[in-house]
Structure 1
Amino acid sequence: MTKVFLDTNVILDLLGQRIPFYDSIAKVATLADQKKIMLVASPLSFTTVEYILVKFESSESVLNKLRKFKIICKVCSVDEEIIEKGLNSDFKDFEDAVQYFTALQANCAIIITRNGKDFKNSIIPVMTAEEYISQALKS
């Protein structure tokens, strides 16, 4: 099963139902729900999503969304080695570096993000949710 790493911004698109990005990431989530792919995310994404979404809706609502999301998304580990690699990488943004090395350690085949330019040196293919869905439909 293909492991697909989700960057924080696309999780926010999904759980915050952010237009115009929601439809494509919802289709990716549906593939995971149908057990066609395995979604993977960093624990950092869960805390960041909660921090942002509680500004717009109740904490209870956000935590319920995260609980449901966790059913279709594996949470991988962030350890000292990942932090060390992130701190010493060429990434301009430390958070992106941590996300990248987390995806790499989890053996993900793809990273889905809306900020592909932040992962320009990635050895893992990087694409938007829309690009991924388009590619999946061709397969």
Structure 2
Amino acid sequence: MLKAFVDANVIVSVLNKEYPLFTYSSRVLSSGSLKGVELYTSPLCLAIGFYFATKKSGKQMAKQKLALIYEHLSIAKIDKAAVNKALLNPKVQDVEDGFQYYAAVEAGCKCIVTENLDDFYFAEIPVLSSEQFLKTYIFK
């Protein structure tokens, strides 16, 4: 079973149909329906996605879109352990990225899918763009 963590920017690109990224990010999210692939995100990523989707679509439509995407995702917890690890790791400069990373690790994710690869410079698991994820794990 491949468990992968989907970062907020991938979700935002799908919610707002941001091209050319949408071509890859939408396929990443749809890969969650494949046998042997389980996609995770955090409540914080969903909230970030909702915020940016409301700017383009309004609150009601953003909520509907988010509900559709949510069906294909499992939720990684940002619990006390994840927060503690992010705060105590001297390499983590942006705590939000640290929270996401440790939530992913604690959920057993083998990689992080993001378009901001540099945000996870401290990661000890692979950090891939949507395109890299698809080439590495889905269309191999």
TM-score range, shorter chain: over 0.9
Match of 1:40 in 2: 40
Q: What displacement does 1:93 show?
A: 1.0
Distance 1:34 1:25 in 2: 15
Task: For 1:17 and 1:48, locate their aligned partners in 2 and report how far apart those are by CA, in whole Å.
Answer: 15
* Structure 2 counterparts to residues 76-87 of structure 1, below 5 A: 76-87=76-87
Match of 2:129 in 1: 128
Partner of 2:115: 114
TM-score, L = length of structure 2: 0.92
Structure 2 match to 1:137? 139
User: Hey, what's the Cα distance between the residues in 2 that align with 1:129 and 1:21?
Assistant: 8
TM-score normalized by structure 1? 0.93
- Unpaired runs of 5+ residues, structure 1, are none
| CA positional deviation for 1:120 | 1.7
Q: Distance in 2 between matches of 1:33 and 1:16?
A: 21
Aligned ranges 1:48-127 → 2 under 5 Å:
48-89=48-89, 90-127=91-128
CA distance in 2, matches of 1:137, 1:52: 30
> Match of 2:105, as an amino acid?
L
Amino acid aligned to 1:75: I
CA distance in 2: counterparts of 1:98 and 1:80, whole angstroms: 10
RMSD: 1.2
Aligned sequence identity (%): 29
Consecutive aligned runs of 4 or more in structure 1 exceeding 2 Å deviation: 33-36
- In structure 2, runs of 5+ residues without a counterpart are none
Describe the superposition over 1:66-107 as per-residue Cα deviations: whole angstroms up to 9, x where unpaired. 111111001121111211111222112111111100100000
Other-structure match for 2:30: 30
Aligned pair count reads 138
